Structure 1
């Protein structure tokens, strides 16, 4: 059953989208040119891409159209109000630390201006016809995924935004699906948050979920479909307790008794040995072990068996050796 997300799920900067603030300027100028000359061509926008992919971002793109397709009744007044909105937004950030009263005042003024902009806005979404495939659909190169039909002046300014949404979400969903299929039934977790900007977590996590990821590492990544983050134990905790992996895992397990306990076992660069120590110390409380050897290091377990394979990082050989030693010592679970 396809997941469908309502417009309120997405934290969209509605006033900025309506004004074209986050669009390529030529799309905004297209809209204004059409309206200035009282031109309202009936068009159909066909959205497609060029690869085999897993579609994602449709509901978010539709939300953009629903909330930001339309026109202002008084453009000069709207321009002035929007500039004030951005100014109060900036002032609020400046006052957040050190002047709480001024911060609250700036937020209140911003909301007042936003309400005034709402009064100038006439929604055009009901005058458009939007047809689209569902998030999670397998799509072929050049296959149409969305049609937007209606007065071009109502939605011309939104092309940058909805295409950008579809491009990013589809790319992530497709890449994750490729990994999930390669994993052959094994659980795939999506943990990229530290390698990208924090603001993209909500949509990226949802796209990973659509792609088949079983879990994500931040609560923000899981918010759109009502889940929570999952994870292991960080290297930083092991370092904070003097480099003692067993102690770090034990402390973590005591603090979070209801969380599946996964030991990070590469801190001493001996993944096999540390895995055994953790299993012996924690027994059935331990849910699993995680190998995370740096791709610039050779785990000492690999040194005696180095042959004609790339020895650095988490190698298939290292995984096989760890699994074999755990099984041999009675930790097949």
Structure 2
């Protein structure tokens, strides 16, 4: 059977997951007999911008550097940052030159997803948030998606294999495919079959928008499952959605009118922070997909800032080893590591 197009973990650990010019750099330096002791820093912005991002991917980075003849200092996984270095490497350049591509890949993508997850959490601080975005990425990095979502404040995720790797049970409801498999007009059969088949520890969340009006399907689900119904999920496609807030308020009204205040509302389908802010008072929880999994990577770069103890940098970059401080007002300050930081600043 043909293999998937996946670079193996062994290739990554051996430095093979690199750009060609790093291979040629190693070849050139070895031929010239040069292997300077350097300090290199990973940064996204040289100075604070006023916008915080979430640092993620450091556990994979630590595995990458295990056993290499270098010292690495970094922010904690999940720590907020705004400008300045997030990771520093000190050691002979040839010890880590081949690993720059993989290192930046680990950090950039995970940090982008964790940052977008945090923005979703800020938009709905008291809501249940589940990550539904693994279907948008290569399956080999599904656990990275789900872990990044957790770092950003999500309550859970849907991917089963990611749950096995991360030691957490996957969450979810039911797909339209299940309802459609029972045929149009037989939604209640699908809901009851789910209730009969699935372990009772799994919440009974009925998908209620497959064939009919959302309110109609919700009330039918309430009748079909009775007290077993925990929640209903509305995942109406955008072309049929209309005023989703009004739909949810109507659903809530009709449930309450029938004494089903206990049934909670769960919404999914192309949601971002603006949607969460709009709907957080009319729904209990949200399934968020592409906003996290399709996040733009943080634009990290790795730059040499010292060579054999002397400041060095390319044009447009800041030379010298640096330290980032958290200031009393909650901001960040970047300074040279051998100088005093700001008053009341914490490194």
Q: SS of the counterpart of 1:188?
A: strand
Q: CA deviation at 1:14?
A: 4.3
Q: 1:149 aligns with which of 87, 90, 107?
A: 90
Q: 8 Å contact 2:13–2:64 — kept in the other structure?
A: no
Q: Deviations over 1:200-256 (max 9, x none)?
A: 101111111111111111122223431121111111111111132221111111111
Give the TM-score normalised by structure 2: 0.68
Residue 203, structure 1, aligned to residue 144, structure 2: yes
Report the counterpart of residue 89 of structure 1 in structure 2: none
Root mean square deviation, CA, Å? 1.8
Report the counterpart of residue 33 of structure 1 in structure 2: 28
Report the counterpart of residue 266 of structure 2 in structure 1: none
Residue 294, structure 1, aligned to residue 237, structure 2: yes
In 2, Cα distance between equivalents of 1:287 and 1:40: 63
Structure 1 residues 319 and 144, CA gap change in structure 2 (3 angstroms): same
Q: 2:10 aligns with which of 15, 23, 42?
A: 15
Report the counterpart of residue 72 of structure 2 in structure 1: 130
Q: Deviations over 1:143-174 (max 9, x none)?
A: 31110110000101111111011110001111
Q: SS of the counterpart of 1:23?
A: coil
**Structure with the larger RCO, 1 or 2 (CA within 8 Å, 6+ apart):** 2
Please state which structure has a larger fraction of its residues in strand. 2
Structure 1 residues 251 and 14, CA gap change in structure 2 (3 angstroms): closer
In 2, Cα distance between equivalents of 1:18 and 1:201: 20
Q: 8 Å contact 1:31–1:152 — kept in the other structure?
A: no
Report the counterpart of residue 46 of structure 1 in structure 2: 41
In the TM superposition, 1:246-261 aligns within 5 A as 246-256=188-198, 257-261=200-204
Report the counterpart of residue 57 of structure 2 in structure 1: 57
Q: CA deviation at 1:18?
A: 4.9
In 1, Cα distance between equivalents of 2:258 and 2:191: 20
Structure 2: unaligned runs, 5 residues or longer: 1-5, 46-50, 263-347
Structure 1 residues 224 and 212, CA gap change in structure 2 (3 angstroms): farther
Give the TM-score normalised by structure 1: 0.71
Which stretch of the first structure deviates more once superposed, 263-272 or 43-52? 43-52
Report the counterpart of residue 329 of structure 1 in structure 2: 258
Structure 1 residues 177 and 43, CA gap change in structure 2 (3 angstroms): same
Structure 1 runs (4+) greater than 4 angstroms displaced: none
Q: SS of the counterpart of 1:135?
A: coil
In 1, Cα distance between equivalents of 2:63 and 2:8: 11
Which stretch of the first structure deviates more once superposed, 317-326 or 145-154? 317-326
In 1, Cα distance between equivalents of 2:15 and 2:59: 20
Q: SS of the counterpart of 1:43?
A: strand
In 2, Cα distance between equivalents of 1:150 and 1:240: 60
Q: CA deviation at 1:12?
A: 8.3
Report the counterpart of residue 173 of structure 1 in structure 2: 114
Report the counterpart of residue 113 of structure 1 in structure 2: none
In 1, Cα distance between equivalents of 2:10 and 2:155: 35
Q: 8 Å contact 1:206–1:224 — kept in the other structure?
A: no
